[in-house]
A = this chain, B = another copy of it.
């Protein structure tokens, strides 16, 4: 039995439902951010992130900073690129536009390679773009939360390394880390940025990032100073390295309660093989997508290979609006999200299937939500 009071099941693509023990960690009594108990917990959380991202290269560097996932974009744009340099942004929805806007804020030229809605840029298009200009970084949204489009990372990274070996490969994994496989070392990724409140299963409020040794070297060789203060790795790098070595350190006060909750969920996640976790998410996703097809509905993500395991974005029947369906779902105790991609926002809804709703065998959240959707149309 959950210790949480009865409430509607949150099945939006983040925040997700949280485990009881994680929520209990959020109410931990106050403690010093530089005292040994918290320093130990922070250090262990950083080390556990290495396992979650599947990196054993000691040069890889994890970061945990108070903020939302968006702060990860600032970290990339202000630490890895310099004013006047170029970024190639692969666009699969809303979050490509926003990441490009972030680069422009820091004086970096962002070139977007856009796919049709529901699709993703193809490797030959990426290769062509990389040959046309020298890009300091290429960014890809692993799962775009606005469309449910999944990007492929392994072959993409291979292509970048072959065609433009100096270009850093940056992955926006806000809606993928913890439910879609990411092999940081094997796939040659330089940055994965994410947030706490999705498949990692910790309340919102933490920007989480893994940087490769190559990314850290690029940062250290900057000609100009980092162009953000709060997001500056000059400020945070020694703090993260000290915390992981269990030494107190200070730049800005972290959130002990959020970091404890992160520690709890990472401990849970890593207590089982990651493969099982990915398989559970894939199975739940297949079930949802089959049910959606059985209802005669189409997904935004247009092909099986670009459909995320994290979520499903579903076109509503002609003439039906999210404002017709979401309240009916709400009456049945299920919370889905409306559309976010501006061009089609009034035509679709989003169903998130991440975290304990998928991995906890005692929960019937997904089956219940499928039934609720059927009876709400």
Contacts and interface: CB of A to CB of B under 8 A. Distances in A.
A118 interface: no
Contacts of A232: 105
A33 B10 CA distance: 11
A31 B8 CA distance: 8
Interface in A213-255: 225-232, 250-255
A255 B18 CA distance: 13
A204 to B, nearest CB: 4
Given A71-B67, A229-B73, A255 B203 contact: yes
Given A7-B31, A66-B204, A337-B32, A253 B15 contact: yes
A364 interface: no
A118 to B, nearest CB: 21
Contact of A14 (B225, B253, B257, B340): B253
Given A7-B29, A204-B256, A252-B68, A229 B15 contact: no
A325 to B, nearest CB: 15
A53 B8 CA distance: 35
A361 B228 CA distance: 43
B205 A257 contact: yes
A253 B105 contact: no
A41 interface: no
A181 B225 CA distance: 38
Interface in A65-123: 66-71, 73-74, 77, 101-102, 104-106
Interface stretch (A19-27, A153-161, A272-280): A19-27
A67 B101 CA distance: 20
A218 to B, nearest CB: 19
Contacts of A197: 253, 255
A37 to B, nearest CB: 9
A321 to B, nearest CB: 16
A258 interface: yes
Nearest to A9: B30
**Interface of A: prevailing SS:** loop
A35 interface: yes
Given A35-B335, A337-B32, A226 B105 contact: yes
Contacts of A26: 26-27, 257
A189 interface: no
Contacts of A23: 27-29, 257
A138 interface: no
Nearest to A226: B105
A230 B229 contact: no
A30 B70 CA distance: 20
B203 A30 contact: yes
Interface in A259-297: none
A5 B29 CA distance: 8
A172 interface: no
Given A73-B230, A204-B66, A229-B73, A256 B31 contact: no
Nearest to A10: B30
A33 B68 CA distance: 12
Given A66-B66, A68-B66, A105-B228, A33 B5 contact: no
A228 B230 CA distance: 10
What 4 pairs between A and B have smallest CB-CB spacing?
A205-B255, A70-B252, A68-B252, A102-B229
